[in-house]
Structure 1
Amino acid sequence: MPELPEVEVVRRGLVSWVRGRTITSVDVLDPRSLRRHALGAEDFRGNLQGATVVDVVRRGKFLWMPLSETPGATGTPTVALMAHLGMSGQLLMQDADVPDEKHLKVRLRLSPVASMPEQLRFVDQRIFGGLFVTGMVPTDDGGPGGQAESPVAFIAEEASHIARDPLDPAFSFDLFYSRLRKRKTGLKRALLDQGLVSGIGNIYADESLWRAKLHYARPTDTLRRGDAERLITSAREVMLDALAAGGTSFDSLYVNVNGASGYFDRALNAYGREGRPCSRCAAVGINSVLRRELFMNRSSYTCPVCQPRPRNGRW
């Protein structure tokens, strides 16, 4: 499933193509991709046709496009088109003469702009993702809703329950640390809790913990402030490196809006490297091999030397 860097790559690509353009028509080729839009395909079309895309916004892994009924209108949009990419969802910008993709689910035609593709297509092979229209609500802390070109203190209602992510300028380390210390759980479980900090999935959790020299089972209520600061700094660094590489792509299904895959998987230090030397230990002459352990029906990858398991680690 795409994580924060992958979704941010899509956001940055989309905003340059769709911001300020009007949706002129909507084709729903597979209603299953609208299952989160409870009122069905006709209501979905009615909300979108004639609406103008004001911006493209992301918080954590959530992505939405605020809509205005009038091109160039001022004021805060009251509704947004939300995209849930799931495991295989893609938002692709295509010209009208490009043949339909095999798993095309929804097509939005946009007002013409010179040298820009005319269609925004939602493609989803496994149909775990989807599109839907949701309301916009004020943020609970008065800050911007998320990463955007023109941030406003409103957020798509379906994303209002999640915490800010480490790349969010309004992210509060003090709030994060206070909430973290109150948890009675392991550190990786906490990182995957989108209500505590958003956007960190299994891959980037392992990479962040490796950089911070922390084990995934470290109890959160024992974490010192300096350790937590190092962890958040590591998470930011990992995500910024992934953004520079275009995200992590292990699956040909993940591509950005231009159809290009990410290449950060070539720079991973921990995730998926079971049985290989730890590069940090090797750099100082220590022979250590990365190991894989089962974790929440997934896997965790750690170095037994520079990420020793805590004696009181229970998770």
Structure 2
Amino acid sequence: MPELPEVEVVRVGLDKWVRARLIESVQVLDPRSVRRHIDGAQDFEETLTGCTLRSVVRRGKFLWMDLEGLPEPTALVAHLGMSGQLLVEEPDAEDEKHLKVRLSLAERSDAPSELRFVDQRIFGGMFLSPLVPTTDGYPGGAGSIQPLIAQAAAHIARDVVDPHRDPNDLYLALRKRSTDLKRAILDQGIISGVGNIYADEALWQAGLSGLRNTATIRRQEVTRLDNALIDVMTRALDAGGTSFDSLYVNVNGASGYFSRSLNAYGREGKTCHRCADNGRESLIRRDPFMGRSSYSCPVCQPRPRRRR
């Protein structure tokens, strides 16, 4: 599933190609992809037509576009799910096999005039959501200067690279719980944008086991983890995200390459780089985790001792 870097790459692309453009028409080709719009596909088409995409905003993995032209502050939310793509295309470009929604935009000489939502597995979708004030008075997310957030995303915490996030909040949130550390940093209500891949990478970099109980975590360990999360996310952003799946692409259909720099995720049975640098021998192990997998080094990420 796409994580913060993949969604941010899409946001930047949309900001370049569709921001400040008028929506001239909307075509819903599969009503399942607008199922979260409670008034139905026809209302979705009619409401959006004539609006302007004012800004493109992201918090964590959530992506939305502020709309201009409606009576109340409203956002067009695009949930990518497992396989959703937002692609900018010319009108005469062949329709993608799994094209679900087409937005025709006012022509601009230097940009294609269609925004297409493509979704093979139909876990994602598009819908309208009211914009509500942020609880802390800061902008809703990356790409916004307004203290507003799509109501559908108002429940999630600020993300790893949000300049308005207080790192101390992560420590306080972790100490209030008694759960596995990896499970906690995947909780979007604690810190948003972290998924399975980047959780494993940050835990490896911080030298912490994902099985560590959050109630026992020390402040210096949280600082180390927080720095690792920021570093991993920043490097992934610079590389354009991680693309294990051809579905994870930016608005022009290009894939990211951070997968070439992974230290833990997907490296089962391979030598741990840090241990090798320190003259030790250790192989990355894989363990089942919430229907997926966790990757870690048994030597430099020691598991907590079980209480008798």
TM-score by length of 2: 0.98
**For residue 188 of structure 1, what is the aligned residue in structure 2?**
182
Q: Distance in 2 between matches of 1:186 and 1:252?
A: 31
Structure 1 position 293 matched with structure 2 position 287: yes
What residue is the counterpart of 2:87 in the other structure?
92
Q: After the TM superposition, which residues 27-176 of structure 1 pair with which residues of structure 2 at under 5 Å, given as runs?
A: 27-69=27-69, 78-148=73-143, 150-176=144-170
- Any conservation in 1 of the 2:76–2:128 contact (CA below 8 Å)? yes
Contact 1:66 1:77 in 2 (8 A): no
Residues 276 and 290 of structure 1 are in contact (CA less than 8 Å); yes or no, is this contact kept in structure 2? Answer: yes
Deviation at 1:147, TM superposition (A): 0.5
Compared CA separation, residues 288 and 20, structure 1 to 2 (3 A): same
- Amino acid aligned to 1:39: D
Match of 1:308 in 2: 302
What is the one-letter code of the residue matched to 1:95?
Answer: E
Q: After superposition, what is the alpha-carbon deviation per residue over 1:91-119, rounded to whole angstroms, capped at 9, x for unaligned?
A: 00001111111110000011111120010
Match of 1:202 in 2: 196
Displacement of 1:290 in angstroms is: 0.6
- The whole-number CA distance in structure 2 between the counterparts of 1:281 and 1:297 is 28
1:258 Cα deviation (Å)? Answer: 0.4
Query: What CA deviation, in whole Å up to 9, does each residue of 1:22-62 have, x standing for no partner?
Result: 00000111111011111101110122100001100000000
Task: For residue 21 of structure 2, give the secondary structure of its aligned residue in structure 1.
Answer: coil
Are 1:64 and 1:156, in contact at CA under 8 Å, matched by a contact in 2?
yes
Letter in 1 for 2:27: D
Q: 2:79, 2:156 → 1: CA distance?
A: 14
Contact 2:272–2:284 (CA under 8 A) maintained in structure 1: yes
Q: Counterpart of 2:259 in 1: which secondary structure?
A: helix
**Partner amino acid for 1:230?**
R
Question: 2:139, 2:146 within 8 Å by CA — same for their partners in 1?
Answer: yes
Aligned to 1:54, what secondary structure does the other structure show? strand
Amino acid at match of 1:197: I
Contact 1:47–1:133, Cα closer than 8 Å, also in 2: no
CA offset at residue 312 of structure 1?
A: 4.0
Unaligned runs of 5+ in 2: none
Query: What is the deviation of 1:289?
Result: 0.6
What is the Cα deviation at residue 162 of structure 1? 0.3
Distance 2:250 2:60 in 1: 17
Amino acid at match of 2:295: Y
Matched residue, 1:73: none
CA distance in 2, matches of 1:281, 1:151: 44
Instruction: Work out the CA distance in 2 between the residues paired with 1:114 and 1:233.
Output: 43
Aligned to 2:247: 253
Runs of 4+ residues over 4 Å off in structure 1? none
Give the deviation of 1:313 after TM superposition. 8.2
**For the residues of structure 2 that align with 1:151 and 1:301, how far apart are their CA atoms?**
38
The aligned runs of 1:16-31 (5 Å cut-off) are 16-31=16-31
**Deviations, residues 129-157 of structure 1 (Å, cap 9, x unaligned):** 10001100000111110001x42100000
Cα RMSD (Å)? 1.4
- Whole-angstrom CA distance in 2 between matches of 1:12 and 1:115: 16
- Which stretches in structure 1 are left out of the alignment for 5+ residues? 71-75
CA contact (8 A) 1:219 1:313 kept: no
Identical counterparts, % of pairs:
63
Q: What is the CA deviation profile of residues 179-204 of structure 1, one whole-angstrom value per residue up to 9, with x for unaligned ones?
A: 11010101001001111011101110
In 2: Cα distance, 1:105 partner to 1:313 partner: 52
**What is the DSSP-based 3-state SS (H/G/I as helix, E as strand, rest coil) of the residue aligned with 2:157?**
coil
For 1:254-284, what per-residue CA distance to the aligned partner results, in whole angstroms no more than 9, with x for missing partners? Answer: 1110000111111110001000000111112
The code of the aligned residue for 1:41 comes to A
Give the secondary structure class of the aligned counterpart of 1:13: helix
Match of 1:277 among 271, 292, 296: 271
SS at 1:174 equivalent: helix
Give the letter aligned to residue 257 of structure 2. Y
